[in-house]
Structure 1
Amino acid sequence: MGTTHGMMTVSKQSMTLKVTPPTEGLFDLMVFARPSDSPGPYHWVCSYQIQCLEPNSRENLPENPFHFWGLHQKVKDFGIEDCSWRGDLVVAARGSLLLTLQTTRPLLATYELVHQELDASLSKKCLASQAEEDKLSCHVLCPFRGYYRLSVFVKDLGDTVFENAANFLIRCSGPINRNELFPSGLSMHCGSGTYTRGRGLSNPSHPAPIITTMQGKCNITFHARPDVEVAAVLSKDNITNNKYPMERYVLLTHLRNKVSVCILLPEPGIYKVGLFGRNKDHKDFAHICDYIIRCFSNPRWPPFPRVYSLWRRGCILLQPRTGVLQEQSWVTFRVKMPKAYKALVIGHAKTELKPTQSKIWEGEVHTGPAGTLLKLVAKFSQQSTSMEVVLSFDVGSSG
């Protein structure tokens, strides 16, 4: 009958087999077994005859090449202590579930979601996983009715091979809208966890990987080691408001022991924020983790100013926070740049900013006509005669 017509769960003390014959008739059921530590062949132990008078017309179970359901009988050897899902069937009445596995040591995990209508690329948009010191989590979305197999594979941090630790049967009666699936390209490191701490980030403002905002904006903060530099990339699978590049909707602020990632959304939808980091020993940025931001209201935030490479640790944009300024208006500029010796705003005219005692450069700037590009420039060396661009602002039409 194959794995689509039977469901076997195994523990250290017992085995349970549920059989669903596909048609009426008489069936032979043969049971084979071997010692759990043996690499040898399975041996026949007993047989049953099953007479089916009326077949179950429900949908077949998904194929399971691992031949067991639920937790592996040696799941504690893998480092898994407990599981949030009980029984041999999990029901997703509204199309979404959260699996949590308590662990005795830090583990990494990958997941596989299978359904007869789900292809490999769409399946990846149904899973968001998080690995913490003592817990593994996976958010699961079900876009179709029927039965799913969720397989869990784990490994220790230093190992190279993932091993199958569990296979769960999910029945979905109320599928989620396919427009609400997760973004493409999520890594196995979503939200904060083992990997973020290893990269020098701690005390996150948002430990969980999914952030829902009705305002269309959020601010993710971490405590960061002084030698860590962070970058962030915002993306969306289908963007319609593409007047400005997505990089303009993220603004990073690096303080000595804290990093803040401020995000504005140009339109509703589901976004991915990828965080990357490097330190003095590594020239290139390496991926740290991903966040998922969901917004089902109708935000229309303008972008931040364009940021240049000299926007470094200690720089704080106080005013204006928007990167699109109204034409022919006076705007107060207040920017903290601790290592600057001189600062100007250059557009249709030049305005020199004056420093306060706390190294905040400030001044009143006239924006000029629509289409003007205002550049905040600064000199970071007393010996240098050149000014370099730090931020730039667009001047838009008031109409």
Structure 2
Amino acid sequence: MDVYWATCHRVHSGDKSWELIDDGTDSLSSHSSTPRSGSSKRSMSKTEYSYNDYYFLTDPEQYIYSHFPVDEKWQLLARTVSIEEAKQLALLKRNFFSLGLDIVSHARYLVECDSGEVQLSFTKSDNSRINFKYELYIATETNADIVDTLNSSLDRYVFLENPTKEEIVNVKIRFPSIGKFKLKILAKEADEHSYYYTCTYIIDCLKAMENCQPLPTNERGEWGPGLDTEALGLNPVTHSRGEVEAEDGKAEVRFQMNQPVEFEHRLIRGENEELHNRVLHRIEDKEAVFNVRVPQEGEYALNLYAREKGSNKDFPNVCNYLLKCEEEPDDKTPFPAVSSLGPTGAFQEMGLENISDMPALMLAPATGEITLQFRVSKPAIFIPELLLQQDDKQFDFSEYMMWDILNEVATFYANIPRQGLYSLAIRAKSSHEQDTYVPIFNAVIDAIVPKKQCFPFPQQSVDWPSKCHVNEPMSGILPARELTSFSIEYPDAFEVVVTSGNGSKTLARAPNDAWNGDILTGNEDSVVTVAVRYHQSDDLRYILTYKVAGKDYIIEERRRQLERYRDAVQRAERLKESGKLPFMFDWSRLESVDSGTEMEAFASEIFSRAWHGLPNNKFTGGRNSELQGLPDCSYLVGGRPDIDQCLPVLWRVNDFY
């Protein structure tokens, strides 16, 4: 027992032999007001009186860290400790033991560091609720020139993690310079206001860490999930500690949610550089999911802010992760600027239910075709939007989306024309009479490979009706002067009329309520429209528009698509070889990439169709006299023509036909 320490203790301040350089907050820098050597401020101390029964019948295993008896028998230890050993023991305060802490890594007061980095580890008792912080000092006797040569302040070199689901506490320190440092660990029970000193170490850094950089700014001091995370009912699913590996620049962090929570987030590089459009979050199956894409190798702070849903309080910082990317990312494209993923608040208000397997952050199938479905219980009209994100620019590919409602299920079809990141946004309103569409659903699509042959859908009008479904043609671009089959399912229609540059034709109604017919398209740059009449006396309402293009344009566009497809597949092969291809990507569904063979086959198809349509399969005589002087290409039928030589002949033959 120590009756003196049980009634009072000494409080020291202004120790000029040490300078505080980091206390885990943003307010401290190397220009701290704490004096360096030579300052006129003197070291002072005072006695404060308060009762503390820790020093009455103290555990001998703990007592030896602060008291050494003259008579060694009063150590009351199984093995006595020499005075030399006692002087080397770590300086552990009474609060260290009263909080149930224990040493794991370093039992001695002086720690020598010859690698530029050191980690101190402690255990805490099971189910303990303790917060930690630290103070790092540098000895003022350290050569001032060494400190002054650093490009940044000496703070933000300490990494402290306190996992709530584990009994370990880790404190990692990296040193940008040699010198002598003092580390103090402070702790408190979760419901207490003040922190107490628990232990102190002197670290003699003999070698600085190579290319040592300060950690990104952390507002909390602790890294990883802590008691404040747990208090909101958030349990870490993927990362219970403070470090997250961002392999190939990508990372995903998940929390199980025990109550509705709303979030904000920031991705910080360096001292306080915020990176925008690098983090996406969504709520999925009662889990909060955060996806991160960093722009280059290095370290980043993922700062998460959360509050109970519906609260009007500020968002407190409840969890921070240190993201580490050790190699240059293959894809540096930021996420599209999407405020939140998944259904919005208006989604359920409109009586919608998501029945798709596709998550709000989806990997596009290898086919490049995506289908999204909502169950509909109320009338609804939709406008889908598809934007491709490339660097800091967006390109509108909304014409590659189409929708319909059949059997109370709204289906959205999307064809992916190029590799890259897309934002998919769906807006809706309940009737044609309403003026405003409201956002109901947001998604981001990661397309590794586009659709091999991908043309826009036909353009739907604002009067696009429910229960109407297009069977064919699904391509919104039709070849000029070609007979094209139309089939549209629409049981509520009285009449369906298709109009092209060659006139109008009413489609025939089949027993299955499909309207069918063949239409001869017009010239290049014209349109084909589909209109519907609901009653005999009604005016026609246009619901679909197709563009008409020359076959040379279609051939060239297919060529470009095949080249883009081949480049994307080659990139996917490189990702596969390096182990960076997402495991969900179904490689078996990729199509052949022999673009030359496909183009030759397509050219042969058009040529053969034109050839066999001519009388006697000849280019001379009769009504085909206009084609005299062209080379004999009959040997190309069913063969593999050279496209560049054959195209001029092919176009003239086909156009004449």
Question: How far does residue 35 in structure 1 lie from its aligned partner after superposition?
Answer: 5.0
> Does 2:512 align with 1:358?
yes
* 1:314-372 superposed Cα distances (whole Å, 9 cap, x missing partner): 11111110111111111111112233222211122010112223332221111122222
Question: CA 1:54 to 1:47, structure 2 compared with 1: closer, same or farther past 3 Å?
Answer: same
Is it true that 1:268 corresponds to 2:419 in the alignment?
yes
Q: Which residue pairs with 1:387 in the alignment?
A: 540
Paired position in structure 1 for 2:175? 21
Q: Is 1:398 matched with 2:551? A: yes
Question: Is 1:71 aligned to 2:195, yes or no?
Answer: no
Q: Corresponding residue for 2:76?
A: none
In the TM superposition, residue 159 of structure 1 has moved relative to its aligned partner by: 2.1
1:188 to partner: Cα distance = 2.2
- Structure 1 residues 102, 198: CA separation in 2 closer, same or farther (over 3 Å shift)? farther
Give the Cα–Cα distance (whole angstroms) in 1 for the partners of residues 385 and 306 of structure 2.
28
The equivalent residue for 1:94 is 248
Q: Quote the Cα distance in structure 2 between the aligned partners of 1:140 and 1:198.
A: 31
Equivalent residue number for residue 107 of structure 1: 261
**Aligned mate of 2:442, from 271, 290, 305:** 290
Pick closer, same or farther for the CA change 1:29–1:287 going to 2, 3 Å. Answer: same
What is the rounded CA distance, in whole Å, between the counterparts of 1:284 and 1:29 in structure 2? 61
* Structure (1/2) with the larger helix percentage: 2
Map of 2:318 onto structure 1: 165
Of stretches 352-361 and 278-287 in structure 1, the one that deviates more from structure 2 is: 278-287
Separation in structure 2 between the aligned mates of residue 268 and residue 11 of structure 1, nearest angstrom: 40
The alpha-carbon distance between structure 1 residues 133 and 265, as it changes in their structure 2 partners (threshold 3 A), is: closer
Aligned CA RMSD, in angstroms, stands at 3.0
Q: Secondary structure, in 3 states, of the residue corresponding to 1:75? A: helix
Report if the CA contact (8 A) 1:344-1:377 is conserved. Answer: yes
Shift in Å, 1:106: 3.0
**C-alpha deviation, 1:272, in angstroms:** 1.1
Do the aligned partners of 1:102 and 1:136 also contact (CA within 8 Å) in 2? yes
SS of 1:169's equivalent in the other structure is strand
Deviations 1:235-268 (A, max 9, x none): 12349xx9x9633111011224211111123333
Counterpart of 2:530 in structure 1 is: 376
Partner of 1:134: 286
The equivalent position to 2:357 in structure 1, one of 205, 208, 221, is 205
Report the Cα distance in structure 1 between the residues aligned to 2:398 and 2:344, rounded to whole angstroms.
25
Query: Secondary structure of 1:248's partner?
Result: helix
Q: Which runs of 5+ in 2 are unaligned?
A: 1-20, 25-155, 553-657
1:330 matched residue in structure 2: 483
Paired position in structure 1 for 2:373: 221
Which residue in the other structure is 2:595 paired with? none
Per-residue Cα deviation, 1:162-213 (whole angstroms, up to 9, x for no partner): 332211112111232344x3442122224x6998566622222312512223
Q: Distance in 2 between matches of 1:29 and 1:245?
A: 55
Q: Which of 327, 337, 344 does residue 174 from structure 1 map onto?
A: 327
Superposition deviation, residue 33 in structure 1: 4.8
Structure 1 residues 193 and 387, CA gap change in structure 2 (3 angstroms): closer
Shift of 1:49: 3.1
Partner of 1:186: 338
Amino acid at match of 1:230: F
Quickly say closer, same or farther: Cα 1:107–1:257, change in 2 above 3 A: farther
Q: Distance in 2 between matches of 1:219 and 1:138?
A: 24
Counterpart check, 1:50 vs 2:182: no
Deviation at 1:72, TM superposition (A): 2.1
Q: Which deviations, in whole Å up to 9, do the C-alpha atoms of 1:92-129 show, x marking residues without a partner?
A: 33322211111112333232222239954xx3332222
Q: Distance in 1 between matches of 2:284 and 2:345?
A: 5
**Distance apart, 1:223 and its partner CA:** 2.4
1:152 aligns with 2:308: no
Question: Which residue is equivalent to 2:399?
Answer: 248
Bigger Rg, which one: 2
> Are the aligned partners of 1:202 and 1:224 in contact in 2 as well (CA < 8 Å)?
no
Q: Please say if residues 161 and 241 of structure 2, whose CA atoms lie closer than 8 Å, have aligned partners that are also in contact.
A: no
- Structure number with higher strand proportion: 1
Aligned residue pairs, count:
390
* 1:337–1:360 contact (8 Å) kept in structure 2: yes
* Amino acid of the structure 2 residue aligned with 1:287: P
Aligned residues of 1:267 and 1:300 also touching (Cα < 8 A):
no
Per the TM alignment, residue 133 of structure 1 is displaced from its structure 2 partner at its CA by: 4.6
Tell me the SS of whatever aligns to 1:368.
coil
Distance 1:154 1:45 in 2: 30
Which amino acid letter does the alignment assign opposite residue 338 of structure 1? P
Aligned partner of 1:29: which letter? L
Contact 2:422–2:445 (Cα < 8 Å) also in 1: yes
Alpha-carbon deviations, 1:122-177, whole Å to 9, x = none? x3332222213511111222322121111222233322443322111121112323
Structure 1 window deviating more from structure 2 (157-166 vs 330-339): it is 157-166
TM-score when normalising by structure 2: 0.54
Query: 2:133 — aligned with what?
Result: none
Q: Distance in 2 between matches of 1:397 and 1:259?
A: 34
Distance 1:76 1:296 in 2: 37
- Aligned counterparts of 2:282 and 2:349: Cα–Cα separation in 1: 14
Q: CA offsets, 1:19-48, max 9 Å, x none? A: 32332112233444555345x565656644
Q: Distance in 1 between matches of 2:286 and 2:344?
A: 9
Given the superposition, is the C-alpha separation of residues 159 and 325 from structure 1 closer, same or farther in structure 2, using an over 3 Å criterion? Answer: same
Unaligned runs of 5+ in 1: none
In structure 1, the partner of 2:471 is: 318
**Contact preservation (8 Å) 1:7, 1:17:** yes
Helix, strand or coil at the partner of 2:551: coil
Distance 1:119 1:397 in 2: 51
Change beyond 3 A, Cα 1:198–1:378: closer
Higher relative contact order (CA 8 A, sep 6+): 1
Q: 1:186 to 1:175 in 2, by over 3 A?
A: farther
Mapped to 1, the partners of 2:434 and 2:317 lie a distance apart of 34
Q: Verify the 8 A CA contact 2:386 2:424 in the aligned structure 1.
A: yes
Q: 1:26, 1:397 → 2: CA distance?
A: 78
Q: Give the 3 Å change call, closer, same or farther, for CA 88–112 of structure 1 in structure 2.
A: same
TM-score by length of structure 1 reads 0.86
- Partner of 2:217, secondary structure, is coil
Cα distance between partner residues in 1 of 2:516 and 2:338 = 41
